[in-house]
Amino acid sequence: MKHPHLLQVWQVHATPAALYIVSEYLPGFDLETVASSCALLKRPPLTAFVCFIAAAVADALD
Tens-binned pLDDT, residue by residue, of the chain (62 aa): 677 777 889 999 999 999 999 998 888 888 899 999 999 999 999 999 999 999 988 888 87
Q: What is the DSSP letter of 28?
A: S
pLDDT number for residue 16: 95
What distance in Å separates the CA atoms of residue 18 and residue 4, rounded to the nearest whole number? 28
Is residue 17 in some structural domain?
A: yes
Count: domains in the chain: 1
- Whether the CB-CB separation of 4 and 55 falls below 8 Å is answered with no
Is residue 2 in some structural domain?
A: no
H helix count then E strand count, the chain? 2, 2
Look up the domain containing 21 and give its range.
9-61
- Partners of 12 in beta bridges: 21
pLDDT number for residue 54: 92
Please give the sequence-ordered ranges of beta strands (E in DSSP) within 1-62, or none if there are none: 9-14, 19-23
Q: pTM for the complete prediction?
A: 0.60
Residue 37, SS3? helix
Is residue 1 in some structural domain?
A: no
